[in-house]
Every structure is written in structure tokens, then in C-alpha cells.
């Protein structure tokens, strides 16, 4: 067996002692320090395979075991990297930021508590989207999930990284209501109304009394979330909508300026996502079917692919949920708005409760087929995402697209991009697809990503979520008033985690002693 990677200022002897302490506290069956274990927890989509290697993993299955594991970590000053299910693909997966960290795998914590009256649920971090979906179906509960494009992951973990879905409940972090958290020092706290003993309103009112802490544990390293309350959408009486295709890249401006006001008015209550042709095509074909030429695809090849699959340059799916009479009235507004900006095609869709359900993200069913896009180039496929937040303005969106598309061509990469609507913002998700078996391509990914960060920074646009490799880069771009927000994060980190053991460096938040 090869020697494991070690965290900074650690010895192999000390790591072995920590492993024995974990085995004593948790049982040997929940401690994993073999070579295969370390390989299993690496980032499958890593741009650089030489970094982010764990020393091993532990798998507590109760709150008490999480507490005792953190006690051991504090005793040895050993960095711990919590994961829910480790399926945050494209952002680091199950790998830790600091090599030599021990992964705390919470996938065995799978309890579900459902309140059918109010459509609220309390979940442990190991509950995946498929688990919750199966639970709802098994118990015939009249509620729908909101699922991301890769539904292998954890419901809790996805919300904690601000993941999004396709229904009116698609901004998942907004539907968090109450948490149970083990702090780095081992204390257990409950947020919101959970701080009030026996409160029946823990999942009904998110704020409680005093500061609201739920969002402080989102994308942070301030605690280990062991329970989370979530709101789920009541099963609608009907669903109506349309899939709309547009012919030219320049049509993005009209699409944003037409859909944006409807979203802000809440005629559209879900968050549509405008995607380019490759987002659709990459799940149905691979690049080698069309060309063997290096560099970004030519317009003629793009035209051929679009023709084969009947795709516009951009496509968007719009959906209405709720009472059928209300949906019918809103549909007329949508139809006129889309027709006025001259799409290639409008494909209507309808569903009424009692009819067979189309299994898709729009109907709250878990899906994984979008991950097929990582096979676009062949070889060991992967991707990372560059996703700045930009104004919900058509001119700004078109300019952002044109800058980004030019960079994709400059670096010889095929462009997969989308613009997802919040109520007031757009999230411009740019997927960098790559082939890990192509060394020349992999050399370009890092400088390409950093260039996109710099381009967005010039416009005042910052990312909302990023890969392990770029957490410091993105955190540093939030630089107002000398990086005051980062300094505040550091103060909270030092207060809650005096030994700096919990996920050092996550979201650019480093403990004292490691900031250099």
C-alpha cells in the first residue's frame, strides 16, 4: 500500500494514530484508509489529477458519531472535509480541497420525516433525490420535488451549494427552513424555530428570533449540517407550457427581455433556462460523429447538428403550474409574448392530474441523462462550470454571451452555455466540457477558466458557485472595501473553529495559520 497524502505539518505516524482513534470511536467498519478508498473519493472530473487527494474517509451515521469524529479531528488537528453524497460533479465531487484531509462521508445518514399537512420534510444529508422521490411515491404523497439536472446527489447537499431545479421551487436554497448543525467544536445547534424546544413550527418559519443562521451554513465551513428542513411543492392540478426554439445567437436579447418581465411579475413562477444547441445535442450525439477537426466547431458543422435534431441556436422551456383555469389564462400571455419575437417553433405541452406523467425535471422527477454531455469529446469525459451572476437584461446577456463565445473559440473549445432566470438576475452557466485523455486540451482548461473570471470581473460579475481549484480565485474577486466580506468570514471561522479543522479553504474561507 502506498503512503497516503498528508495534510500540512503532519506525519504518517500521527495520521496512523488518528486513524486508530477514528476506529475506536466509530468502529472499523466506518473508517476507510486503504488505497482504493482514497482513489474512490477523488474528484472524477479533476482538471489536475495531482491535487485534492484525501488521506482517507470516515462515515458517521448519527449526530453523536459526527460529534465524536470532530472530537478526534480536533485532538489531532486533522482537517475534515464533509460531503453529503459526493455527487457535486464539476465542482469537486467527493474530493477535499486540502490534500491529506479526511473525508467525512454522510451518505449513510438517510432519515426522512415528512409533514403531509404542510408539505415540509426534514432530511439527513444522505437522502438523495431518488430516495425522496421513492418515499413520496411509496407513501402516495401529493407533492413534487424540484430536481437538478444530475439527480444522483443529495437533496441537502444540493441546497447547501445553491443548486437549482426547474419547477417553481427551483431555487433550492430559498426552500431551506431550519437546520440542525454540529459546530466544528462538537456543539449541536438548531436554527430558526428549532432553537425553541418542541416547536411545531421549525419547518414553517425560517427565521426564529434574532439573526437568521440558515444561510450562514450554505457554501461555508462553519458547521456540519446533519438535518435540514425543506419546503416541497404541492402536486399541481395542471401543468401547461411550451418548448420554444430560436434561430440566431442574437435572439438571446429578445428572449431575455421578453421572459424577464414575465418572471418578475410571476406570470412565470418557475425559473426557465435558455440553453444553446449543444446543451441539447450533447446528450444525443458525440463530436466524433460530425468532425475530426481540432478547435471550436465551425458554423457549418453546428448547422448540420442543429438540422439533424431540429434545434434552434437557443431553446427555452416555459412551464405553468397550478390551477387549470389560471394556467389557461397565463398560457395565452406566454404564447403571445413568444410569438411576438418570432421563434422558429413553439411546441405546446399540457398535463392534468390523473394523466400519465412525463418523467422530466419539469415534473419534479429525478433525472441523470444530462450528464451524458461529458462524453461529448470521448475519452474520460468531464466538465467544470463557470457561472457568473449577471443582470436580467437582454443587452447585457447578449454582450456576456458574445465575450464568452469568443473566448471559447480562442481556446478551441466547443461552447455549451445557458442563462437561467431568477426573479431579478440571470445565472450564466458555461460548461467547459473536456476529455481527460487529451493532454493538449487539459492544459487549456485552467488558463481558459481564469480568463473568463477576469473577463467577468471587468463587468462587475461574480460567480455564485465554483470548483475546488478556483474557490480562492472567486472569493478574491469579491473585493469591495478591501475584501471586507472575506474578512468577516474569517472572523466567524476563527470563532467557531479555533483549531481550523473543518473544510479549510472552502469558499475561500481559511482558518488562521493557513491563510498564507
- pLDDT surpassing 80 at residue 1: no
Instruction: Report the pLDDT averaged over residues 468-493.
Output: 97
**Locus of grid cell 485532538:** 75
Measure the CA–CA gap between 262 and 269, rounded to whole angstroms: 9
For the stretch 387-445, pLDDT in tens is 999 999 999 999 999 999 999 999 999 999 999 999 999 999 999 999 999 999 999 99
Catalytic residue among 135, 405, 464, 478: 464
Instruction: Indicate if 411 belongs to the active site.
Output: no
Catalytic residue among 190, 306, 319, 465: 465
Residues in the chain: 516
Smallest Cα–Cα separation from 436: which of 503, 510, 384, 508?
Answer: 384
Question: What would the grid cell of residue 497 be?
Answer: 473553529
Catalytic residue among 38, 41, 85, 91: 91
In this structure, are residues 207 and 192 in contact, taking their beta carbons and an 8 Å threshold? yes
Instruction: Indicate if 465 belongs to the active site.
Output: yes
Phi, psi dihedrals of residue 188, rounded to the nearest 5°: -110, 130
- The percentage of residues in the chain with a pLDDT greater than 90, rounded to a whole number, is 96
Measure the CA–CA gap between 459 and 461, rounded to whole angstroms: 6
Measure the CA–CA gap between 448 and 433, rounded to whole angstroms: 12
Measure the CA–CA gap between 390 and 449, rounded to whole angstroms: 17
Say what the pTM is: 0.96
Instruction: Indicate if 319 belongs to the active site.
Output: no
Phi, psi dihedrals of residue 153, rounded to the nearest 5°: -80, -175
- pLDDT surpassing 80 at residue 516: no
Report the chain's mean pLDDT, rounded to a whole number. Answer: 96
Amino acid at each position: 500500500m502506498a503512503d497516503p497524502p498528508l495534510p500540512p505539518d503532519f506525519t504518517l505516524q500521527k495520521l496512523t494514530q488518528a486513524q486508530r482513534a477514528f476506529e475506536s470511536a466509530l468502529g472499523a467498519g466506518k473508517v476507510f484508509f486503504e488505497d482504493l478508498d482514497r482513489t474512490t473519493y477523488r474528484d472524477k472530473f479533476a482538471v489536475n489529477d495531482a491535487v485534492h487527494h484525501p488521506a482517507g474517509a470516515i462515515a458517521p451515521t448519527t449526530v453523536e458519531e459526527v460529534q465524536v469524529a470532530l472530537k478526534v479531528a480536533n485532538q489531532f488537528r486533522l482537517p475534515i472535509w464533509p460531503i453529503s453524497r459526493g455527487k457535486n460533479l464539476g465542482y469537486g465531487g467527493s474530493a477535499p480541497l486540502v490534500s491529506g484531509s479526511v473525508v467525512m462521508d454522510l451518505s449513510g445518514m438517510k432519515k426522512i420525516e415528512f409533514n403531509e399537512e404542510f408539505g415540509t420534510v426534514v432530511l439527513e444529508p444522505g437522502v438523495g433525490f431518488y430516495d425522496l422521490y421513492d418515499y413520496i411515491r411509496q407513501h402516495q404523497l401529493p407533492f413534487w420535488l424540484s430536481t437538478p439536472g444530475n439527480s444522483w446527489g443529495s437533496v441537502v447537499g444540493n441546497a447547501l451549494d445553491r443548486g437549482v431545479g426547474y419547477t417553481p421551487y427551483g431555487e433550492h436554497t430559498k426552500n431551506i427552513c431550519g437546520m440542525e448543525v454540529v459546530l466544528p467544536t462538537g456543539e449541536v445547534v438548531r436554527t430558526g424555530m428549532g432553537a425553541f424546544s418542541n416547536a411545531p413550527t421549525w419547518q414553517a418559519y425560517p427565521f426564529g428570533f434574532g439573526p437568521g443562521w440558515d444561510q450562514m451554513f450554505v457554501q461555508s465551513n462553519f458547521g456540519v449540517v446533519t438535518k435540514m428542513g425543506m419546503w416541497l411543492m404541492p402536486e399541481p392540478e395542471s401543468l401547461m407550457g411550451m418548448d420554444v426554439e430560436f434561430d440566431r445567437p442574437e435572439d438571446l436579447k429578445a428572449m431575455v427581455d421578453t421572459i424577464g418581465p414575465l418572471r418578475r411579475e410571476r406570470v412565470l413562477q418557475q425559473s426557465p433556462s435558455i440553453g444553446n444547441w449543444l446543451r441539447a445535442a450533447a446528450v444525443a450525439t458525440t463530436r466524433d460523429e460530425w468532425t475530426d477537426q481540432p478547435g471550436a466547431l465551425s458554423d457549418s458543422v453546428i448547422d448540420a447538428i442543429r438540422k439533424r435534431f431540429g434545434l434552434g441556436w437557443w431553446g427555452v422551456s416555459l412551464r405553468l403550474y397550478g390551477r387549470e383555469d389560471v394556467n389557461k389564462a397565463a398560457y395565452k400571455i406566454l404564447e403571445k409574448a413568444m410569438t411576438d419575437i418570432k421563434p422558429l417553433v413553439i411546441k405546446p405541452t399540457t398535463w392534468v392530474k390523473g394523466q400519465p406523467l412525463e418523467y422530466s425535471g419539469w415534473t419534479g422527477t429525478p433525472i441523470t441523462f444530462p450528464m451524458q454531455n461529458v462524453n461529448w469529446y470521448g475519452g474520460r469525459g468531464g466538465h467544470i462550470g463557470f457561472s457568473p451572476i449577471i443582470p436580467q437584461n437582454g443587452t447585457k446577456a447578449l454582450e456576456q454571451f458574445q465575450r464568452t463565445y469568443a473566448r471559447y473559440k480562442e481556446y478551441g473549445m466547443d461552447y455549451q452555455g445557458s442563462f437561467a432566470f431568477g426573479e431579478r438576475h440571470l445565472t450564466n452557466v458555461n460548461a467547459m466540457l473536456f476529455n481527460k485523455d487529451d493532454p493538449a486540451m487539459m492544459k487549456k482548461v485552467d488558463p481558459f477558466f481564469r480568463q473568463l473570471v477576469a473577463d467577468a470581473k471587468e463587468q462587475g460579475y461574480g460567480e455564485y458557485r465554483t470548483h475546488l481549484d478556483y474557490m480562492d480565485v472567486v472569493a478574491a474577486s469579491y473585493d469591495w472595501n478591501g475584501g471586507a466580506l472575506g474578512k468577516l468570514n474569517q472572523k466567524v471561522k476563527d470563532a467557531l473553529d479555533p483549531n481550523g479543522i473543518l473544510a479549510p479553504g472552502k469558499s475561500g474561507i481559511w482558518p488562521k495559520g493557513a491563510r498564507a
